[in-house]
Structure 1
Amino acid sequence: MWIDFSSKKTNFLKDQDFKEQNKDWKKAIFSFLKNWYENKPILSLTSGTTGVSKVISLRKEHMYERAIKTVEFLKLKKKEIRGLLCLSPDFIAAKMFLVRAIIFKWKIYCVPPSSNPLKNIKEHFDITSMVPMQVYFSLKYLKNIKIVLIGGYSISNILEEKLQNISTICYSTYGMTETSGHIAIKKINGSNKSTFYKSFQDVSLSVDNRNCLGIFSSCSMNSFVQTNDVVHMISENTFTWIGRYDNIINSGGIKIIPELIEREISSFIPCDKRFFISSIPDKILGEKIILIIEGNPFSLDIPDNIFNGKKKFYKPKNIFFISHFTENLLDKFRRKEIMKKLIKIKT
């Protein structure tokens, strides 16, 4: 489905075929655009970065300003931009993609969210936004896209390595519903690639006593947003993301950040398998490290030498396979909810 925002008219809002679509993703796009043009409240679900996931109302002017900052950073202000929207319209990433298209008069092709959105598309695009799972399944088709914004969750080491061999410019984005989208970006392939995120000029960063990132921006819901993301500040406007404070495990008196282990072992787990590190109660350690993988059981060989020295505490004591983390591969999974079900099954 094409939507051409380069036209001054918004006839598509009156198009009966568009309004009567029986597909949820198309209905969600139409609903968002209708609310935008009619200045009605924009509702979006938070990811849980700042606390419990909830629905919040976004301010149109904040979304407008944040969209401009992203496009300016990418230097995409030229005319006749063609974009691909392949994310769920229910979440902030897709909503902000639509806002950028509206403001800068892009022509965008909308497809249902899927793990391999480019499979049957022969078109060429200037830009798209994807989650890592989509990027992995779309690797051989990415040559048809100039810029890919990757967000939603962290990019595995092995996927990042594969992205070094393509001409498409890939960026890892950092942002959330509460900040109306991106506040920092890092280039992960090609010339001038980076190992850290750099915030936009209108954003000020800080860390609290947990080393969790604080964000001050005029585009944020409450001007200041305190996250639960543990970071390492490199300078006043650059940082590396380490993990989530609320995921930290205390095993035998040692505090362990699961995301650090996940990075270490990601090269040994197929890219099409979602997984995470967590813990279960242990009589001796208090909590013992476990690995949970989505899908049917398979043989896994993680070399012992990656757990040498201090990293010996990182080694998972058990591996569990769960058929489905979520109904849809693109949905964010909730670690705590999965662990509750797992512990219930095992007890």
Structure 2
Amino acid sequence: MWIDFSSKEKIFSSFILKKQNEKNNNWKKSIFSFLKDWFNNKPIILSLSSGTTGIPKILSLRKEHMYKRAVRTVEFLKLNKKRGIKGLLCLSPDFIASKMFLVRAIIFKWKIYCTPPSSNPLKNIKEYFDITSMVPVQVFFSLKYLKYIKIVLIGGYSISIFLEKKLKNISTICYATYGMTETSGHIAMKKVNGSNRSTFYKSFKDIILSVDDRNCLKIFSTCCMDSFLQTNDIVHMISENTFTWIGRYDNVINSGGIKIIPELIEKEISFFIPYEKRFFISSIPDKILGEKIVLVIEGKPFSLHIPDSIFNGNKKFYKPKNIFFISHFTKNLLSKFRRKEIMKKLLKT
């Protein structure tokens, strides 16, 4: 489904209202519902949070902030002065990434092709596009088709070392993005391939960063926020506007008095687990350690060998004591899975 935003807003608004009455698929209805809300006279728009650590919440976002945030992203990518941009929208329109993609398209008059969310959105695409947004699993299954895209914004969750290596020799410009519903999208990016690739996120010019006593990131925007936003993202600040993401404070495990960040172990072992398999590190109660490290993998059981050599020295405490296989984390491969919810169900069985 093509939507051409180069036409005048009034003409497009009437187009939306007509489309609202058609019998569309749910993803199409969500797109037109958002556009209808965007063009009304209300200053607020509602959006679902990602649900990283719990049930997704409905948040009220100011259109003024969304507008400014969209401009910052396009300026960062140096697409603000280019005309005739063609974009591909392949994420769920219920969440902030798609909403902000649409806002950028509206502001800068892009022509975009909307396709239903799937793990392999480029499979049947033969058109060339300037830009798209994807989650890492979509990028992985689209590797041989990325030649059709100039710029890919990758978000939703962290990119594995395995995928970063796959992207090194690809001509498509790939950025890892950092942002959330509460920030109305991106506040920082890092280029993950090409000559100027980086190992850290660099924030946009309007962003002020700091950390609390847990080393969790605090965010403020001089143009798009009313107060500092406290996150539970553990980061390492390199400078006042650059940082590396380490993990979520919500996921920290205390095993035998040692605080362990699961995401660090996940990076270490990602090479030894098939990429199409979703997995995570968690813990279960232990009489001696309090909590012991376990590995949870989605899908049917299979033989897995993780070399002991990666758990040398202090890392010996990081070695999973058990491996559990669960048939499905969520129904949709693109959905974020909730670790604590999965572990509660696992411990009940």
User: What SS does the aligned partner of 1:296 have?
Assistant: coil
State the one-letter code of the partner of 2:6. S
Partner of 1:101: 105
User: Structure 1 residue 43: deviation in Å?
Assistant: 1.1
Alpha-carbon distance between aligned partners in 2 of 1:268 and 1:222, rounded to the nearest angstrom = 44
User: Structure 1 residue 143: deviation in Å?
Assistant: 0.5
Q: Which runs of 5+ in 1 are unaligned?
A: none
Alpha-carbon distance between aligned partners in 2 of 1:324 and 1:72, rounded to the nearest angstrom = 40
Partner of 1:30: 32
Alpha-carbon distance between aligned partners in 1 of 2:54 and 2:125, rounded to the nearest angstrom = 38
Bigger shift: residues 263-272 or 64-73: 263-272
User: Structure 1 residue 22: deviation in Å?
Assistant: 3.2
State the one-letter code of the partner of 1:57. S
User: What SS does the aligned partner of 1:240 have?
Assistant: strand
Counterpart of 1:62 (choices 55, 60, 65) is 65
User: Structure 1 residue 21: deviation in Å?
Assistant: 3.1
| TM-score (norm. length: structure 2) | 0.96
Counterpart of 2:23 (choices 21, 45, 49) is 21
The structure-2 alpha-carbon separation of the partners of 1:49 and 1:238, relative to structure 1 and needing over 3 Å to count, comes to farther
Partner of 1:328: 332
Question: How many equivalent pairs are there?
Answer: 344
Does the CA contact (< 8 Å) of 1:252 and 1:287 recur in 2? yes
Alpha-carbon distance between aligned partners in 2 of 1:191 and 1:21, rounded to the nearest angstrom = 47
Does the CA contact (< 8 Å) of 1:180 and 1:219 recur in 2? no
Q: Does 1:45 align with 2:48?
A: yes
State the one-letter code of the partner of 1:233. M
User: Structure 1 residue 23: deviation in Å?
Assistant: 1.0
Partner of 1:250: 254
Counterpart of 1:151 (choices 151, 155, 160) is 155
Alpha-carbon distance between aligned partners in 1 of 2:247 and 2:184, rounded to the nearest angstrom = 21
User: Structure 1 residue 296: deviation in Å?
Assistant: 1.1
Bigger shift: residues 173-182 or 46-55: 46-55
Does the CA contact (< 8 Å) of 1:275 and 1:292 recur in 2? yes
Taking the TM superposition and a 5 Å limit, the aligned residue runs for 1:150-189 are 150-189=154-193
User: Structure 1 residue 297: deviation in Å?
Assistant: 1.1
Bigger shift: residues 221-230 or 75-84: 221-230
Q: Deviations over 1:24-58 (max 9, x none)?
A: 10000000000001134411112356987421111
Alpha-carbon distance between aligned partners in 2 of 1:51 and 1:292, rounded to the nearest angstrom = 18
| TM-score (norm. length: structure 1) | 0.96
Does the CA contact (< 8 Å) of 1:174 and 1:185 recur in 2? yes
User: What SS does the aligned partner of 1:234 have?
Assistant: strand
State the one-letter code of the partner of 2:85. I
Counterpart of 1:262 (choices 263, 266, 273) is 266
Alpha-carbon distance between aligned partners in 2 of 1:101 and 1:315, rounded to the nearest angstrom = 46
The structure-2 alpha-carbon separation of the partners of 1:35 and 1:162, relative to structure 1 and needing over 3 Å to count, comes to same
Does the CA contact (< 8 Å) of 1:6 and 1:107 recur in 2? yes
Alpha-carbon distance between aligned partners in 2 of 1:218 and 1:48, rounded to the nearest angstrom = 26
Does the CA contact (< 8 Å) of 2:69 and 2:224 recur in 1? no
Q: Does 1:290 align with 2:294?
A: yes
User: What SS does the aligned partner of 1:15 have?
Assistant: helix
Partner of 1:2: 2
User: Structure 1 residue 218: deviation in Å?
Assistant: 3.8
Counterpart of 1:118 (choices 99, 122, 126) is 122
CA RMSD of aligned residues (A): 1.4
Alpha-carbon distance between aligned partners in 2 of 1:303 and 1:263, rounded to the nearest angstrom = 14
